[in-house]
Chains A and B, each alone.
Chain A
Amino acid sequence: MKTNAISATAALAVATWAAHAHAAQPSELAQIQQEIAALRQSYDQRIAALEARLREAEAKATAAANAAVAPPPAAASPSAGANAFNPALSLILSGTYASLQRDPEDFRIAGFIPGGEELGPGPRGFSLGESELGVYANVDPWFWGGLNLALTPENEAEVEEAFLQTTALPYGLTVKFGRAFSGIGYLNSQHAHTWDFVDAPLAYQAFLGKQFGDDGVALRWLAPTDLFVELGAELGRGRNFPGSDRDRNGAGAQALFAHLGGDLGVSSNWRAGVSWLRTTPREREFDDQDLAGNEVLNSFSGTSRLWIVDGVWKWAPNGNATRTNFKLQGEWFWRREDGSLNYDVDGAASPGRYASRQSGGYLQAVYQFVPAWRVGLRYDRLHPGSADFGANAAVLATPDHKPSRGSLMFDWSPSEFSRWRLQLARDKSRADEADNELFLQYQMSLGAHGAHSY
């Protein structure tokens, strides 16, 4: 603005002088020309000076604006009051519609002693799936803890996890105590809502009663290496299958595991592990059917040893899983049980030796082919192996049947927090006919949603 006004004034002055110059003498003319040149130079200098000042002022204004953009970080005001320290609440709601060809009541994994209470495909028709309520927070600078309640369709609340974990131990050490899922295998420590299929693999149902959680203490050590090396040891009560609740001071379950993992280039990564679980059940009761077809209640006391190898490989182009990604995962279980089996506890009550060598596992692949849409295939297979019933060999035997199951799943996740799933399965767990199954499932996550482990 100022510059313009000055230019206008200068132009006007020059024009006036020029008008006078018309009538002037040559000597005067030269003088006038000199004066004009001097004037022009002086104005040019003044204009340049003013422009410089303007630039400076503008720079200052920008700097001030910058400063306004960034006052020292205004700390986000945390909510005050009595609820300021409330823990993070996470609620998982899930529900299923199941259409099953065969009555789920007669579900059995042929040749395997059943454990746990929720084996099989679940009820027919609409049912509330397992809802999970999780409450997690830091306790103090040294502990983090949480509670995870499973709300079952039968209107029961089950304490799945209630644990504390150290956050301040050095050297890669972490101690976890209370009730928690064991770190054995790959899927065992993951909550049901993170599974890629509606139900647990058959091997998990046969060898761990779906999922092994225990009351006790677990120690983990992460090695200071580029390769991921994690070693863990657990001591527990062993109250769950394959253990049983016992009236003893010592630990009823011991577990050891080692996990290795790393990246294969930028697009894929892997983890593999070996685990060992030893439980010493006492009078672990189970419903069974003897060779004559009678329903009997048997019980097992002895030692159960389980070995697991697991592996998972994940791939996504450039490691960006948003659009497409692929996951291949598999686990194999071997179990040895030695001890005594009491046949027909309430009737004949005939004790006899029991020794079994059994194995099984699954392999599954899940592919996200476009954002939000995934397809998955899983194959389960179990080997009943050998079972020696000793004195009870006349009334009990392992059928000559290798249980297997094939499952195909599609799911759609409109957001990170909701998922719809369709699953078709052909289940040959029973020794006789196969079961054709169809599931529709929703899984919704409300509230704080904790990060998922690998």
Chain B
Amino acid sequence: MRKFLLAACAAVSILLPPAAQAAIRAVACEPEWGALLAELGGDKVSTYVATNALQDPHQIQARPSLLAAVRRADLLVCSGSELEIGWLPILLRQSGNPAIQPGQPGYFEATAFVRKLEVPSRVDRAEGDVHPGGNPHIQTDPRNIARVAEALAARLAEVDPADAATFQARGKDFGARWRAAMQRWAAAAAPLKGVAVVVHHKAFPYLEDWLGLKEVAQLEPKPGVEPSSAHLAEVLAELKRQPARMILRAAYNDQRASEWLSERAGIPAVMLPSTVGGSDRAKDLFSLFDDTVDRLLGGLK
């Protein structure tokens, strides 16, 4: 027994990493918040991103590496609104880390800082995997990114007051660059106003709200339920009555349902990166929206 403990202690001491350089150790639940932390924090924040753009953020497992990362985090930045309900509670509960528990400065929920769309009037699983707090996929509207950025810069300053000036300056700089970029995107995306689209999952209401896209159907019969051939046939019939210009899906959605419909309805299926890393071009928040707008415009041709 004693040998076992000694061996365990020895193993742990070997595994302990050298002291971290950055002042804040952050864990971002989704890549967009990781990218935002990089913009706002610079070298003052080291970020572990829990998921990548090819993973459905609803369907992540509380795997050991995530627990290890959350254990040492000073700040946790997640979407919230129950997007991470299937895994985050485990990480919070088993991490033994009081700094990042809900209510603490180290717990940051991005959806708390924007107006949420699709807040269900009826919370019932018969409606599929609904989010009682509203749709959590807020990162597809750059106006939301701007709001979250403001709140996050303030939060970074709260978690690490010593570097508050840096975060404030970086936040200001990012805000200015972001506003300029938003004007550019809005101008470029003008032809998209009023365009009817079909979506795979209800992952784009904020994008639609921003650009004035009109969602006419979803490939999932109910949120979180895989598209069935019967439902796809219904959507196809619906499109005869109410035509759409393109089918949108996130990088992590299976492409087959949208390809199937694309072929039959004669409209393009457009994959949107939906977050940083979702396409080769979407390397940061700016290129994410450059790419998103270009892909949507490409769908119009």
B266 contacts A by Cβ under 8 Å: no
In the assembled complex, how far is the CB of residue B7 from the closest CB belonging to chain A, in whole angstroms?
A: 9
In the assembled complex, how far is the CB of residue A412 from the closest CB belonging to chain B, in whole angstroms?
A: 11
Number of interface residues of B (CB under 8 A): 62
Q: Is the CB of A226 within 8 A of B226?
A: no
Q: Is the CB of A319 within 8 A of B96?
A: no
Query: Beta-carbon contacts of B114-158 to A below 8 Å, as 1s and 0s?
Result: 111001000001001100111000000001100100000000000
Choose one: B64, B143, B252; the contact of A66 (CB below 8 Å). Answer: B143
Which of B27-35, B65-73, B235-243, B287-295 interfaces with chain A?
B65-73
Q: Is the CB of A170 within 8 A of B98?
A: yes
In the assembled complex, how far is the CB of residue B50 from the closest CB belonging to chain A, in whole angstroms?
A: 10
Choose one: B8, B89, B113; the contact of A258 (CB below 8 Å). Answer: B8
Rounded to whole angstroms, the CA-CA distance of A372 and B16 in the bound complex is 40
Kindly list chain A residues whose C-beta atoms are within 8 Å of the C-beta of B8: 231, 258
A126 contacts B by Cβ under 8 Å: no
A399 contacts B by Cβ under 8 Å: no
Q: Is the CB of B12 within 8 A of A269?
A: no
In the assembled complex, how far is the CB of residue B47 from the closest CB belonging to chain A, in whole angstroms?
A: 14
A266 contacts B by Cβ under 8 Å: yes
A451 contacts B by Cβ under 8 Å: yes
Q: Is the CB of B17 within 8 A of A269?
A: no
| CB under 8 Å from chain A, chain B span 140-183 | 143-144, 147
A261 contacts B by Cβ under 8 Å: yes
Choose one: B68, B90, B103, B113; the contact of A262 (CB below 8 Å). Answer: B68
Which of B37-45, B55-63, B191-199, B268-276 interfaces with chain A?
B55-63
Rounded to whole angstroms, the CA-CA distance of A76 and B121 in the bound complex is 12
| CB under 8 Å from chain B, chain A span 262-289 | 262-263, 266, 269-271, 276
Q: Is the CB of A224 within 8 A of B101?
A: no
Kindly list chain B residues whose C-beta atoms are within 8 Å of the C-beta of A372: 226
Kindly list chain B residues whose C-beta atoms are within 8 Å of the C-beta of A454: 61-64, 67, 90
In the assembled complex, how far is the CB of residue A446 from the closest CB belonging to chain B, in whole angstroms?
A: 8
Q: Is the CB of B101 within 8 A of A451?
A: no
Q: Is the CB of A168 within 8 A of B12?
A: no
Query: Beta-carbon contacts of A410-451 to B below 8 Å, as 1s and 0s?
Result: 000011110000000000000000000000000000100011
Given contacts A314-B61, A319-B54, A454-B61, contact A74 B115 (CB under 8 A): yes
B279 contacts A by Cβ under 8 Å: no
Given contacts A222-B67, A228-B67, contact A167 B115 (CB under 8 A): no
In the assembled complex, how far is the CB of residue B111 from the closest CB belonging to chain A, in whole angstroms?
A: 8
Residue among B67, B86, B132, B134 having the largest count of chain A Cβ atoms under 10 Å: B67
Q: Is the CB of B98 within 8 A of A225?
A: no
B298 contacts A by Cβ under 8 Å: no
Q: Is the CB of A223 within 8 A of B56?
A: no
Kindly list chain B residues whose C-beta atoms are within 8 Å of the C-beta of A371: 226, 254
Rounded to whole angstroms, the CA-CA distance of A171 and B65 in the bound complex is 17
Given contacts A371-B254, A416-B129, contact A76 B96 (CB under 8 A): no
Rounded to whole angstroms, the CA-CA distance of A407 and B133 in the bound complex is 42
A322 contacts B by Cβ under 8 Å: yes
Rounded to whole angstroms, the CA-CA distance of A320 and B86 in the bound complex is 14
User: Taking chain B's interface residues, is the majority helix, strand, or loop, or is none over half, making it mixed?
Assistant: loop
A221 contacts B by Cβ under 8 Å: yes
| CB under 8 Å from chain B, chain A span 216-265 | 220-231, 256, 258-263
Query: Beta-carbon contacts of A285-325 to B below 8 Å, as 1s and 0s?
Result: 00000000000000000000000000000100011111100
In the assembled complex, how far is the CB of residue B113 from the closest CB belonging to chain A, in whole angstroms?
A: 5
Q: Is the CB of A69 within 8 A of B115?
A: yes
Kindly list chain B residues whose C-beta atoms are within 8 Å of the C-beta of A259: 64
B78 contacts A by Cβ under 8 Å: no
Rounded to whole angstroms, the CA-CA distance of A271 and B67 in the bound complex is 12
Rounded to whole angstroms, the CA-CA distance of A224 and B134 in the bound complex is 35
**Which residue of chain A is the closest to B253 with respect to CB atoms?**
A322
Q: Is the CB of B56 within 8 A of A322?
A: yes
Rounded to whole angstroms, the CA-CA distance of A258 and B12 in the bound complex is 11
Rounded to whole angstroms, the CA-CA distance of A225 and B69 in the bound complex is 8
Given contacts A70-B114, A172-B71, contact A321 B61 (CB under 8 A): yes
| CB under 8 Å from chain B, chain A span 148-183 | 165, 167-174
Q: Is the CB of B59 within 8 A of A321?
A: yes
Rounded to whole angstroms, the CA-CA distance of A451 and B87 in the bound complex is 5
Q: Is the CB of A451 within 8 A of B56?
A: no
Q: Is the CB of A322 within 8 A of B101?
A: no
Kindly list chain A residues whose C-beta atoms are within 8 Å of the C-beta of B132: 76
Q: Is the CB of B96 within 8 A of A320?
A: no
Choose one: A229, A322, A414; the contact of B252 (CB below 8 Å). Answer: A322
Q: Is the CB of B115 within 8 A of A224?
A: no
Kindly list chain B residues whose C-beta atoms are within 8 Å of the C-beta of A165: 93
Rounded to whole angstroms, the CA-CA distance of A319 and B87 in the bound complex is 14
Given contacts A73-B112, A262-B68, contact A172 B97 (CB under 8 A): yes
Q: Is the CB of A323 within 8 A of B254?
A: yes
Kindly list chain A residues whose C-beta atoms are within 8 Å of the C-beta of B90: 451-454
A326 contacts B by Cβ under 8 Å: no
In the assembled complex, how far is the CB of residue A234 from the closest CB belonging to chain B, in whole angstroms?
A: 14
B6 contacts A by Cβ under 8 Å: no
A26 contacts B by Cβ under 8 Å: no
Q: Is the CB of A73 within 8 A of B64?
A: no
A144 contacts B by Cβ under 8 Å: yes
Q: Is the CB of B252 within 8 A of A320?
A: yes
Given contacts A170-B98, A227-B68, A262-B68, contact A451 B62 (CB under 8 A): yes
| CB under 8 Å from chain B, chain A span 173-202 | 173-174
Choose one: A144, A230, A446, A451; the contact of B86 (CB below 8 Å). Answer: A451
Given contacts A168-B98, A227-B15, A452-B86, contact A318 B61 (CB under 8 A): no
B94 contacts A by Cβ under 8 Å: yes
Rounded to whole angstroms, the CA-CA distance of A263 and B64 in the bound complex is 8
Residues on B close to A: CB < 8 A? 1, 4, 8, 11-12, 15-17, 51-52, 54-56, 59, 61-65, 67-69, 71-72, 85-90, 92-98, 101, 103, 112-116, 119, 125, 128-129, 132-134, 143-144, 147, 186, 209, 222, 224-226, 252, 254
Given contact pairs A222-B68, A229-B11, enumerate 4 new A-B contacts (beta carbons under 8 Å).
A70-B143, A141-B103, A270-B64, A415-B128
Closest 6 CB pairs of A and B: A261-B64, A228-B64, A172-B96, A318-B54, A228-B68, A225-B15
Q: List 28 A-B contacts (CB under 8 A).
A: A62-B186, A70-B114, A73-B112, A73-B114, A74-B115, A76-B116, A76-B134, A167-B93, A168-B98, A169-B96, A170-B97, A172-B96, A174-B94, A174-B96, A222-B96, A224-B71, A226-B17, A258-B8, A276-B4, A319-B55, A320-B54, A322-B56, A415-B125, A415-B129, A416-B86, A451-B62, A451-B90, A454-B62
Residues on A close to B: CB < 8 A? 62, 66, 69-71, 73-76, 141, 144, 165, 167-174, 220-231, 256, 258-263, 266, 269-271, 276, 314, 318-323, 371-372, 414-417, 446, 450-454
